[in-house]
Structure 1
């Protein structure tokens, strides 16, 4: 009996498919062991939530002289309390660098398993961090970076340059939306001698330049409400009109807002920095100059404690394929506005 051409083609196709399947099966059967294990590598970090060996985490940070710094210590302690396999050994916040160095030396002598250090001065504390690493104690360097990469196993901190960029992008978009031509843009920086302030200012300046804008007026405070109020008063007296203001820090912003209210000025909008709860509440209320804030989240200290635990337990991060904790982690500086403020209230800190 003759086979119709269409049926013959189907049979040939089916035979070809079966042949291909057989070849494929043969290839899979001969897959080298290292390729068979590739799928398992994706779980390199294991289950981070599962208890591991008990470890002692030493913690050192400067004195809690303003809200953001106090929140860093609060977050670290709270995270450690959630971890049943961790003993948390914090030191009292030092009033100066030499006191903090002595406290870290004490933790080294106690042979803690791992150190989390937010240095008052990264350069000044590099040597003691190097000694910890040389003693076999991994160091998690938080925010203010040590001078040598050998002084820490992992760094975690905020994106100061990115803060400036994101603040500039938001301000430029708001000015364009309001159709403001030749705007007067002011910047109230933090402590000018600090690299973090320099990076924030560079990001802001270069971010504005992308939009054909520039900083018209600039003053620098010192991350306190008192200096913020004093410098904002000087700025407002020198500038009869402003269109937008970026204040680097919400702690000094308490003083800045006091000066604004005392002067009765409301012709401009203001963007903050770091993300205090007081500023977020003002943004949500929507009844003043405060329009947004750019995060520099103290919750990074919670993450630092979690990373320290994994380092001491020789584990990686469960959502990453690598078997080790990464060398560095940079947090993101989200812009908090009235539209999304509810999403970020949980990380707002008290100024």
Structure 2
């Protein structure tokens, strides 16, 4: 591990320990690999994770127990970020922390580093995205199937009748969460009897890619009323798509997305293209990942898979949504036709 990495780890670890006045020497060392700090939802997840670490340290200070020291790294966006995270996880395994908590930037790319952690006896908790290969102590994520399904059922209710929906998709096939969202969106259209035709598919998951996708949609479909719905797999790229369409005056297009970015929620309030955003509880998701990791460190049983619910933000429900930091709202009946009428805010541990 390079000296600059060790110094950065020391700084973060001391800062976190001081917040809870726990001993850095006695604390569990938690390597944390974040994906992006340019995608606002992921920033909120980090905030939730680090707030939970501070809560753990405060409790440990009161009880005389062991706290945690976080040793953070950030991968960054795009292909360079994927390669950087591979190197970061390999270096993390070599540094031998007590546990690694990782938000993967690519499902497959971290398989070999995960297997190296398994061989070294270092437990790994993944959150937000899965790792395809190796063994995870636990996987904590938003209910991404629920997210896509909520969007599909709402769009089906908004576009009744037999005319096939003219659909444009903005996807990202490199991570499990966005694949699940897209598949569930299409499943919901089918389950609710809504025929559709996919006009074209683009890729975007962050602002630069979103701007390119928005420009491409306008170039490929320049005529008004040539597209009914655009589905974007997240707001990281989707907000830039909405901006491009709105600036071109294409307000006849309905947009469905996932994340619950405050800007997207504002667009729903203002009637600016976005009609539904399946909103994550990013802070509680990050906090749950840290809570699970701490339980693993203390040899307590944990679920192998934890699902945090998402919330359907629409013009009818926007006042019920508390924002990324939660708390999880009470259950309610959806005010649109749906096969599953009620929404529940419970964290689920599927078997």
- Matching residue of 1:120: 105
Greater CA drift, 180-189 or 119-128: 180-189
- Matching residue of 2:39: 66
Q: 5+ residue gaps in structure 2?
A: 1-21, 58-66, 327-351
- Matching residue of 1:266: 251
- Matching residue of 1:207: 188
- Identify if the C-alpha distance between structure 1 residues 234 and 298 changes in structure 2 by more than 3 Å, giving closer, same or farther: farther
Q: Does 1:190 align with 2:175?
A: no
Partner Cα separation in structure 2 for residue 229 and residue 331 of structure 1: 30
Greater CA drift, 127-136 or 274-283: 127-136
Q: How does 1:66-85 map to 2 (within 5 A)?
A: 66-84=39-57, 85=67
Whether the 8 Å CA contact 2:168–2:227 is kept in 1: the answer is no
Match for 1:55 among 24, 28, 33?
A: 28
Whether the 8 Å CA contact 1:190–1:220 is kept in 2: the answer is yes
The CA deviation at 1:161 is: 3.2
Whether the 8 Å CA contact 2:246–2:272 is kept in 1: the answer is no
Partner Cα separation in structure 2 for residue 161 and residue 108 of structure 1: 32
Partner Cα separation in structure 2 for residue 73 and residue 248 of structure 1: 20
- Identify if the C-alpha distance between structure 1 residues 101 and 266 changes in structure 2 by more than 3 Å, giving closer, same or farther: closer
Whether the 8 Å CA contact 1:275–1:348 is kept in 2: the answer is no
Whether the 8 Å CA contact 1:164–1:203 is kept in 2: the answer is yes
Greater CA drift, 202-211 or 63-72: 63-72
Quick check: which has more Rg, 1 or 2? 1
Q: How does 1:71-220 map to 2 (within 5 A)?
A: 71-84=44-57, 85-93=67-75, 95-148=80-133, 150-176=134-160, 181-182=162-163, 184-192=165-173, 194-216=175-197, 217-220=199-202
- Identify if the C-alpha distance between structure 1 residues 279 and 97 changes in structure 2 by more than 3 Å, giving closer, same or farther: closer
- Identify if the C-alpha distance between structure 1 residues 236 and 181 changes in structure 2 by more than 3 Å, giving closer, same or farther: same
> Normalising by structure 1, what TM-score?
0.71
> Normalising by structure 2, what TM-score?
0.71
C-alpha RMSD over aligned residues: 2.8
Whether the 8 Å CA contact 2:51–2:287 is kept in 1: the answer is yes
Offset from partner CA, 1:99-150 (integer Å, 9 cap, x none): 32332233333332211011222322112122223322211012332222x4
Match for 2:241 among 256, 259, 273?
A: 256
Partner Cα separation in structure 2 for residue 98 and residue 250 of structure 1: 24
The CA deviation at 1:173 is: 1.8
- Identify if the C-alpha distance between structure 1 residues 163 and 115 changes in structure 2 by more than 3 Å, giving closer, same or farther: same
The CA deviation at 1:259 is: 2.3
Whichever structure has more strand as a proportion of its residues is: 2
Offset from partner CA, 1:154-188 (integer Å, 9 cap, x none): 11123333322221111112234xxx551534233
Greater CA drift, 93-102 or 128-137: 93-102
- Matching residue of 2:342: none
The CA deviation at 1:193 is: 5.2
Q: 5+ residue gaps in structure 1?
A: 1-50, 316-323
Partner Cα separation in structure 2 for residue 146 and residue 170 of structure 1: 31
- Identify if the C-alpha distance between structure 1 residues 161 and 187 changes in structure 2 by more than 3 Å, giving closer, same or farther: farther
Partner Cα separation in structure 1 for residue 297 and residue 173 of structure 2: 37
Matched residue of 2:282: which SS? coil
Offset from partner CA, 1:172-229 (integer Å, 9 cap, x none): 12234xxx55153423322245554443332222211122223333331312331242
Partner Cα separation in structure 1 for residue 307 and residue 99 of structure 2: 20
Whether the 8 Å CA contact 2:281–2:323 is kept in 1: the answer is no
